Amino acid sequence: MVEIWKRSNENNRNTSVFDLDGVPPIKKAIPLSLQHLLAMIVGNVTPAIIVAGVAGASSSDKALLVQCSLFIAGIATLLQLYPIWKLGSGLPVVMGVGFAYVPTLTAIGATYGIEAIFGAQLIGGVVAVLVGIFIKPLRKLFPPLVAGTVVFTIGLSLYPTAIKYMAGGAGASDFGSIQNWIIAFITLGVVLFCNHFTKGYFKLASILIGIIVGYVFAIMFNKVDFSAIANAGWVQIPKPLHFGLKFYPSAILSIVIIYIVDSVQTVGQYSVATEGGLDRDLKDSELSNGIIGNGVVNIIGSIMGGLPTSTYGQNIGIVAMTKVVSKFVIALAAAFMLVAGFIPKIGALITTVPQSVLGGATVIVFSTITMTGIKLIFKDELSTRNITVVGLSVALGVGITQVQGALDAFPEAIRTLLGSSPVVVTTIFVIFLNLILPKQSLKQEEEERKQIDKK
């Protein structure tokens, strides 16, 4: 990275931060890069902590999973910034472990173990590559109404996870204690204060600041165990196939659906980057190559121990807001991710954050996901037909998964597929209903009522 910067200055190349290929001076680039790092790093490691806890991973495996999440995020981001052949979009985007996968990953991990997650992820990566190749016709299946319903359900499905964490983490000896709730709400309060009453870096890093403050209070309450840091090494290369690979049809189908949904959501994410940051439309080649590149990274991640990656909306928001589109700026953040991925003590330090702190910080992230889904839904008319599509799909998705024993008469594969995650059920039904129910706008509904009155 430093060599790229040196060569650029030697040849008097473009140094503008507002140009895609601009390579600004390192002193100017680092603060701008820090913004992206602060915006993504907490969200990147939290899914690994959640999944490790549900899958019953040991403390060393938990730290390794966090470490690999940082490593794979760095690889994924660099590939998107600097494509290799048709692998990567070439756009100023940041990649990281996707929260949208968490409900499905936790369901698979709890049922089959962590090795089943990576087995399903490998197949999911292959499917993502295929989606990237055929993305243009597939986009028709995911209009804003369908995509918004899926995103809305993802947010809803994550709420129980946040509340369990705020209470101290499922299975914790002090689950639901007053101390855990105090720590969680202190963390949440700091996040809200920084996000709505401050500006600049404090506003941007509101979640990180909230976690730091909550972490300090957790130490005061003797809720932090530092033994994992002492046991972790200083340098470690991620181990291929350390977590293993196992393939279960129901687990594969569940995660494949989320891969398809996430790939289509990339359309919106990339459009924000091009329209908001570059003031132009998204090219089909950029979209296709970006999804293919992410699919390949996820195949690599399944072998190296890195969880599924997706485009980070908060970082794209920074690009659109600041117009800082220099790939070099974002590449510096990716370089830090890679460095952290080779230093286990960094991963071990992050895993010492109590679950009550994570819950207080992430509940607002999950609520944002839900509201993003609502905003997408409202891009279409709320006609009776559309209300039926959204309402019925969410009702079936959330309802079926919340009622224990509702699917006991079905084979185990069906129970795992339909009973483990509301996102899967909702996605299946919202696509199906949107395809079969006749299109009818608000104007057409009004005309129909007028015709009834005339009879």
What is the sign of the dihedral through the CA atoms of 170, 172, 175 and 180?
Answer: negative
Whole-angstrom distance, CA of residue 426 vs CA of residue 408: 19
The boundaries of the domain holding residue 109 are 2-383
Residue pair 290/91 in contact (Cβ under 8 Å)? The answer is: yes
Whole-angstrom distance, CA of residue 185 vs CA of residue 190: 8
Q: What is the largest CA-CA distance in the chain?
A: 82
User: DSSP for 221-286?
Assistant: TT----HHHHHS-S--PPPTTSS-----HHHHHHHHHHHHHHHHHHHHHHHHIIIIISSSPPPHHH
Whole-angstrom distance, CA of residue 76 vs CA of residue 98: 12
pTM of the model: 0.70
Whole-angstrom distance, CA of residue 359 vs CA of residue 170: 12
State pLDDT tens for residues 284-329: 899 999 999 999 999 999 999 999 999 887 677 777 767 888 999 9
| CB environment 421-440: b (16+ within 10 A), e (fewer) | bbbbbbbbbbbebbeeeeee
Q: What is the mean pLDDT of residues 165-175?
A: 82
Residue 410 lies in a domain: no
State pLDDT tens for residues 222-242: 888 887 777 767 877 788 899
Whole-angstrom distance, CA of residue 315 vs CA of residue 279: 17
Residue 41 tokens read as 């790093």
Neighbours of 40 (CB within 10 A): 22
Residue 415 lies in a domain: no
Residue 446 lies in a domain: no
Residue 324 tokens read as 């800082």
Q: Tell me which range, 211-215, 225-229, 448-452, is most confidently predicted by mean pLDDT.
A: 211-215
Residue 142 lies in a domain: yes
Q: Angle at the Cα of 418 (from 413 to 422), degrees rounded to 5?
A: 150
Mean of per-residue pLDDT scores for the chain: 84
Residue 15 lies in a domain: yes
| CB environment 343-371: b (16+ within 10 A), e (fewer) | bbbbbbbbbbbbbbbbbbbbbbbbeebbe
Q: To the nearest whole percent, how much of the chain has pLDDT over 90?
A: 28
Query: Which has the closest alpha carbon to 337: 64, 31, 41?
Result: 41
Q: How many domains does the chain have?
A: 1
Residue 330 lies in a domain: yes
Residue 192 lies in a domain: yes
Interacting residues of 168 by C-beta distance below 8 A, sequence separation 6+: 174, 175, 176, 177, 180, 354, 355, 356
Is a pLDDT exceeding 90 seen at residue 413? Answer: no
Give the range among 32-41, 243-252, 355-364 with minimum mean pLDDT.
Answer: 32-41
State pLDDT tens for residues 194-203: 888 888 667 7
Q: Tell me which of 328 and 53 has the higher pLDDT.
A: 328
How far apart, in Å, are the Cα atoms of 254 and each of 120, 151, 354, 386, 414?
A: 8, 16, 30, 25, 10
Q: Angle at the Cα of 344 (from 251 to 304), degrees rounded to 5?
A: 35
Side-chain-facing half-sphere of 10: CA atoms under 13 Å: 6
Residue 69 lies in a domain: yes
Residue pair 355/172 in contact (Cβ under 8 Å)? The answer is: yes
Confidence of residue 27 (pLDDT cuts 50, 70, 90): confident
